[in-house]
Amino acid sequence: MNVTERFLKYVGYDTESDPASTTTPSSLKQLTLAKALVEEMKEMGIQDAYVDTYGIVYGTIPATKQGVKTVGFIAHMDTSPDMSGKDIKPRIIDEYDGGVIVLNEEKDIKMGPDEFDSLKDKKGKRLIVTDGTTLLGADDKAGIAEILSMAEIIMQSDCPHGTIKLAFTPDEEVGRGADHFNIEAFGADFAYTVDGGEVDSVDYENFNAASAEVEIQGRSIHPGDAKGKMINALLVGMEFHSLLPVFDNPAYTEGYEGFHHLTDMHGECEHAQLSYIIRNHDEVLFEKQKQQFKDAADYINKKYPEGTITLTIKDSYANMRQIIEKDMSIITLVKEAMKQVGIEPTSHAIRGGTDGARLTYDGLPCPNLGTGGYNYHGKYEFACIDEMEKSVELLVKIVENIAK
């Protein structure tokens, strides 16, 4: 199979993760893809491929040259719960004309370069798009397809290489992808997550990240007799949100600018809950953002009865830059390989996070590589076939260069 065939096969699996679940993986349907990947890996000769009790797939390509550092490649199997990943109907555009793409004529769903900058340099390239009713799953099934396509090429070639470790994780999209990752058993000296966008980018900066849960206890009274008695939890929630900086919102931020993002709000008069994510590249500003949440909660609890708001903030992952910068050799390795396959290398500050951030802090240096996927987590997601193929070429070159 080539990388496109693999990708189209993998997006046929519904692997949406569930942030509300307490199971591991968060959705058991992820195990269906995990087991299929193990079988595929064994068929191509990766004899030790297996899925562990946490739903993580591991496998090894043995070295053909000794004294070479062991490299790992990692991608995640789950898709974002932000939009349905069930019954995905991908469509290939053989040569993008540079104009507006009609994703779904019946629902009048379109995308074009005026709205999406990611399309501006794709004229003449081959794209895979959605039908406008689901996400595509390039995040991160493109990464899986590229890693396994690289693995197949390496195993069928006679090029010398060191030991190559492969891993595919569940639940990255809900922040749990690295929770049970066995770094010691994985055995890599360093690794790369293949989970980004632009294929010319090797990224080693990411957000510091936290989640914030706001529980609001209201007081429900019959509205005909509510004066001076009712505390509407939904309105208190709206008031709490209004106390946060208005423009620290993902719709108004870019580059190194941080944000807080209200991901979910539900409830009734008696009780309500707001869920946020908090993000910033700068550690000092990150702590300031968390304090703003605490100050807002304190204000509400002084205005209303004590305990009206219960705030829980949990750190999720940290910016890996301060660790990677201590030894930039694994970044230099990628940039040299990029030049050799005709890519002009860049590095960007990731406005998100990867399993690699957690793994880096746990002792496995793990920057991020692009896949050629864009507009993640929604119906406008697409993948560029030309860039997926170039990613495979890059991964092969990285492996070859490590052995030189």
114-159 pLDDT per residue, tens: 999 999 999 999 999 999 999 999 999 999 999 999 999 999 999 8
The predicted-structure confidence for 25-66, as pLDDT tens digits, reads as follows 999 999 999 999 999 999 999 999 999 999 999 999 999 999
pTM for this structure?
0.86
Neighbours of 289 (CB within 10 A): 23
To which residue do tokens 């970044």 refer? 331
pLDDT at 316 over 90: no
Residues 56, 33: Cα–Cα separation, whole Å? 11
Known catalytic membership, residue 78: yes
Which fold would CATH assign to domain 208-317? Alpha-Beta Plaits (3.30.70)
The predicted-structure confidence for 11-22, as pLDDT tens digits, reads as follows 999 999 998 899
Asked whether residue 195 is marked as a ligand-binding residue, the answer is: yes
pLDDT at 317 over 90: no
Report yes or no: 129 and 135 within 8 Å, Cβ to Cβ: no
pLDDT at 282 over 80: yes
pLDDT at 258 over 90: yes
HEC string of the chain? CCHHHHHHHHCCCCCECCCCCCCCCCCCCHHHHHHHHHHHHHHCCCCCCEECCCCCEEEEECCCCCCCCCEEEEEECCECCCCCCCCCCCEEECCCCCCCEEEECCCCEEECCCCCHHHCCCCCCCEEECCCCCCCCHHHHHHHHHHHHHHHHHHHCCCCCCCEEEEEECCHHHCCCCCCCCHHHHCCCEEEEEEECCCCEEECECCEEEEEEEEEECECCCHHHCCCCCECHHHHHHHHHHCCCCCCCHHHCCCCCCEEEEEEEEECCCEEEEEEEEEECCHHHHHHHHHHHHHHHHHHHHHCCCCCEEEEEEEEECCCHHHHCCCCHHHHHHHHHHHHCCCCCECCECCCCCHHHHHHHCCCCCCEEECCEECCCCCCCEEEHHHHHHHHHHHHHHHHHHCC
Candidates 16, 18, 172, 381; catalytic one? 172
Candidates 14, 18, 78, 198; catalytic one? 78
**pLDDT confidence bin for 355, thresholds 50/70/90:** confident
Asked whether residue 173 is marked as a ligand-binding residue, the answer is: yes
Mean local confidence (pLDDT), 369-389: 97
Which fold would CATH assign to domain 3-205+319-402? Aminopeptidase (3.40.630)
Q: State the pLDDT at residue 97.
A: 97
Mean local confidence (pLDDT), 286-313: 97
Mean local confidence (pLDDT), 380-396: 98
Q: State the pLDDT at residue 349.
A: 87
Q: State the pLDDT at residue 404.
A: 87
Asked whether residue 377 is marked as a ligand-binding residue, the answer is: yes
How do the domains of the chain map onto residue ranges? 3-205+319-402, 208-317
Mean local confidence (pLDDT), 179-194: 96
Known catalytic membership, residue 172: yes
Sort 114 into a burial class: Cβ within 10 Å, 0-12 / 13-18 / 19+.
exposed
Query: Considering only 228-237, 307-316, 344-353, 393-402, which range has the smallest mean pLDDT?
Result: 344-353
Q: State the pLDDT at residue 196.
A: 87
The predicted-structure confidence for 228-242, as pLDDT tens digits, reads as follows 999 999 999 999 999
pLDDT at 353 over 80: no
